[in-house]
Amino acid sequence: MSFVGHQPPPIFKRGLAPLARLFMFVALCLVLLVADLRFRYLEVVRNGLSVITYPLQMAASTPADVVRNAARYFGTLIDVQLENAELRRHQLDVGERLLRFDHLERENAELRGLLEMSQRIAVRSVAADILYNAPDPFARKVILDRGAQQGVEPGLAVVDAQGVIGQVTRVHPIQSEVTLLTDRRQSIPVSVVRNGVRGVLYGTGRGSLEMRHVLADVDIQPGDQLVTSGLDGVYVPGLPVAKVLSVNREADAFARIDCEPLAAIERSVQVLVVGRAAYPPPPPASEPEGRR
Amino acid sequence: MQPTNRSSRILLPVKLWFVYLSLFAALGLEYIPTGRTPGLPDWVALVLAFWCVREPLRIGMGVGFVFGLLVDVGLGAAMGQHALAYVVLAYLANTLARRVLWFPSWQQALHVLPLLLLAQLLMMAVRLLAGGEFPGWSYFLSSFSSALLWAPLSFLLLLPQYQPVERDDNRPI
């Protein structure tokens, strides 16, 4: 073993030169990075290592929990009363709509039965609190206080009261990590409510969303509502996602469509993790293995 | 080894378990969920750089690699991102080891600051190449606050080695 700038006489046993070891480690790190970022092969290693880090993480999150609970404890009575009144008003509003919704759902099921269509997919959901922003500054992610033990799975949609905020990307035993829609590497398949035009919505990394792969002559106007299309087999169809802000058709063969998320993506606190109760049947076998 | 190579004070040899304990404590500090507050020090990088300067024969790239992976897992960063930065940091800190200890501690901090900045720059380069978003210049504040902590931290981490060989109850430290 030798250290940098220190040349022992050759009668002693020498390890690899420091520079050689540096290149070895750097090469190893690059392999890891490519395997993780490009191919996502390393989730097993991650889970293995998290056996060591998990107790430390739990211990480290205690101070943050204390601060959060203290803030809740010392909140004033007036705030709580105001919030309570607001919630009651909201409850009345929602309750009335729910009454109608029950009725409509029954009617819908009957009509679908008459037409011999397959039933609408069943939905299951888990309520969760957002604990904090994930510390990785290069991505937009948040941590939820529900995990695998409460039935959260990777790929489920996360919604707040107004619409979709993101997708569960990694699940720990009692926490899970959600990538927000505004992240640059996140995308979500949507359709326009008004006419059913389909497209894919991408995050821009600046807080807004962009709908890509839509031809310039397609009928989309500013103000259109976008909902999840459910064609991916992952998201539940019909969840509100965004509103079209502007459409620029001059740029290219494809229109440039800027959208604004409906949900308070970077601000919401209480969310719902929504998923299909059963996955749809796999696509026909004509496609080659391993591709979607 | 002495606090700086100029001073005449002679320290006890370091205990290896204390080195690893301090690294794990730094890991715990790193895991405290602070969201995206800019300018918080990178504790593991700082403690790692400290021991790489102090004990270049024992602490080096291997330790940097392992703790880098642990930080990656805990923070949900890309696997190998911190490992790469810490390996390079450990290599450079080992290189500096024989020179830095001749300086008083604030000048030591000035020596370490470019290394910390380089580690951050490496992480940013890796993530931007992979399609991440630019976190803003305040991201680099973290290195400066780490460098500010160099002097108090080196006092703290050397405390166990200040003890005399023979126990004397009248001696204050």
Domain boundaries, given as residue ranges, for chain B: 16-162
User: Across-strand partners of A258?
Assistant: A210, A246
pLDDT for residue A119: 62
Map residue A260 onto helix, strand or coil: strand
pLDDT for residue B38: 84
Choices 3.30.70.20, 2.40.10.340, 2.120.10.30, 2.160.10.10: CATH for A122-276: 2.40.10.340
pLDDT for residue B18: 94
Percentage of residues of chain B with pLDDT beyond 90: 62
Structure tokens at A35: 């395997």
Largest CA distance in chain B: 61
Q: Do B133 and A63 touch (CB under 8 A)?
A: no
HEC states along chain B? Answer: CCCCCCCCCCCCCCCHHHHHHHHHHHHHHHHCCCCCCCCCCCHHHHHHHHHHHHCCCCCCHHHHHHHHHHHHHHHCCCCCHHHHHHHHHHHHHHHHHHHHCCCCHHHHHHHHHHHHHHHHHHHHHHHHHCCCCCCCHHHHHHHHHHHHCHHHHHHHHHHHHHCCCCCCCCCCC
User: Is the Cβ of A184 closer than 8 Å to some Cβ of chain B?
Assistant: yes
pLDDT for residue A6: 64
pLDDT for residue B91: 95
What ipTM was estimated for this complex?
Answer: 0.88
pLDDT for residue A288: 53
Residue by residue, pLDDT tens for chain A (292 residues) are 455 666 666 676 667 888 999 999 999 999 999 998 888 888 888 888 888 888 888 888 888 788 878 877 777 788 888 889 999 999 998 888 888 888 898 888 888 888 777 666 667 888 888 888 888 888 889 989 888 888 888 888 999 888 899 999 988 888 899 999 988 888 899 999 998 888 899 988 788 899 888 888 888 889 999 999 888 778 888 889 999 999 888 877 888 899 999 888 877 788 989 887 666 666 666 555 544 4
Q: Do B84 and A35 touch (CB under 8 A)?
A: no
Dihedrals phi, psi of A40, to nearest 5 degrees = 55, 40
Residues of A in contact with B87 (CB under 8 A): 22, 25-26, 29
Write out pLDDT tens, residues B7-40.
Answer: 767 788 889 999 999 999 999 999 988 877 888 9
CATH number for the segment(s) B16-162: 1.10.1760
Residues of A in contact with B55 (CB under 8 A): none
Which residues lie below 8 Å from residue B33, measured CB to CB, with a gap of 6+?
A60, A61, A64, A131, A132, A135, A143
Window 67-86 of B: residues touching A by CB (8 A cutoff) are: 68-70, 73-81, 83-84
